[in-house]
Amino acid sequence: MDFMKVRIATAVTALFLVSGAHAYFDAESLTEGDRKYLSIKEIKLVETTKDVFNQNTHKVLEQQTYNDTYKQYQQQDPWYPGGWGQDRGRFGRIVSIARDIVALGEDVYRLVIKGKPTITTTYAPVSVIPRQGEGAVDIFETENWKAPVKRSFKVVYTNYFGMDVVKYDFSVLYSYGGTHDGKGAYITAAQMQNDNVEVLFGYDFTASMKVGGIQNMATRENPVAGLTMILEYNVSTIVKTMTNTQTFFVLGTGKIKKL
C-alpha cells in the first residue's frame, strides 16, 4: 500500500472515530486520531475570479461579470440605480458618516450560520455617496455608474490529515464610478455573497460581513469614496474555536485590494 492509500485509510478511520467520539465521549476522551481530525493545520485564502480572456485587467473582469450580475440585480435587487427600479427603501439606514461622504445599507450581516448559507438578499448592500447635512443625497440624483464588478475568493481549512474540512467560496460585488453634479467617484451595491459552503462532520462554520469604515481618498471638491469591508469567519469543534478576518478595500474608481 503506497503513501497516498495509507493517508486516505487513516483519514477515513479518523472520521469513524470522531463520529463515535461525538456520540459517546466528551472532549477529554478523544483519541489522538480524533484530535488530528478536529484540529486545523492550515488556512488558505485564494482568489478564484475567472478571467475567460486570460488577461489580468480590471476592465476584462468587469466585462466578464456584467451580464450575470445584471441579471441577479434584476431578479433579486430591482432597486439598483440606473433605471432598474424605484424601491428606495432597499438602500437601508445610515451606517457611517465621514466629512464629505455617507454609507447607507447594513453595517453587519450574517453570511453563514453553522455551515448553512443565509439569504443575503434580505439585507441592503452598502452605498457610499455624498453627504448632505446629517444625511445623504438622494441616490437617484447620482449618475454615470459603471457596470458591477465581481471578485471571487475561496477559504480552505485543512486538518492534520491533509483533509479540506471547510471550504467556503464567496464573492465581493460592487458598482463604482457614480458621480453627483458631475463630480466624484462613488460606490453602490457593495456586498459579500455566498457562492458555496462545504463543511465536514464535526465542524461548525460561521461567517459575517462588517463595514470597517469609509474615507474620502481625494479632495472635498472631487471626492473618491473608499469603503473597507471585513469578512469575519469562525470554525469551531469540540477541540478548538478559531476566528479569522479578511479585509477588502474598495475605491470609487473601481479598484479593490485585499489588505
The DSSP-derived string for the chain is --HHHHHHHHHHHHHHHHHHHHHH--GGG--HHHHHHTSEEEEEEEE----TTS---HHHHHHHHHHHHHHHHHHH-TT-TTTS---GGGG-EEEEE-SSEEEEE-SEEEEEETTEE--GGGSPPEEEEEEETTEE--GGG-B-PPPPEEEEEEEEEEETTS-EEEEEEEEEEEEEEEEETTEEEEEEEEEEEEEEEEE-TT-EEEEEEEEEEEEE-S-SSS-BEEEEEEEEEEEE-SS-EEEEEEEEEEETTS-EEE-
pLDDT of residue 216: 95
79 shares a domain with 166: yes
Closest CA to 207 of 88, 118, 78, 87: 118
Which parts of the chain register pLDDT below 70?
A: 1-27, 51-92, 120-121
165 shares a domain with 74: yes
pLDDT of residue 124: 87
pLDDT of residue 75: 38
pLDDT of residue 119: 76
89 shares a domain with 4: no
pLDDT of residue 215: 94
76 shares a domain with 5: no
5 shares a domain with 117: no
72 shares a domain with 25: no
206 shares a domain with 104: yes
pLDDT of residue 29: 82
pLDDT of residue 197: 97
pLDDT of residue 5: 41
pLDDT of residue 66: 33
214 shares a domain with 89: yes
Q: How many domains does the chain have?
A: 2
195 shares a domain with 72: yes
Q: What is the pLDDT of residues 6-50, one digit of tens each?
A: 454 444 444 444 444 444 446 678 899 999 999 999 999 999 997
143 shares a domain with 72: yes
pLDDT of residue 144: 95
* Residue range(s) defining the domain that contains residue 20: 1-37
134 shares a domain with 30: no
217 shares a domain with 95: yes
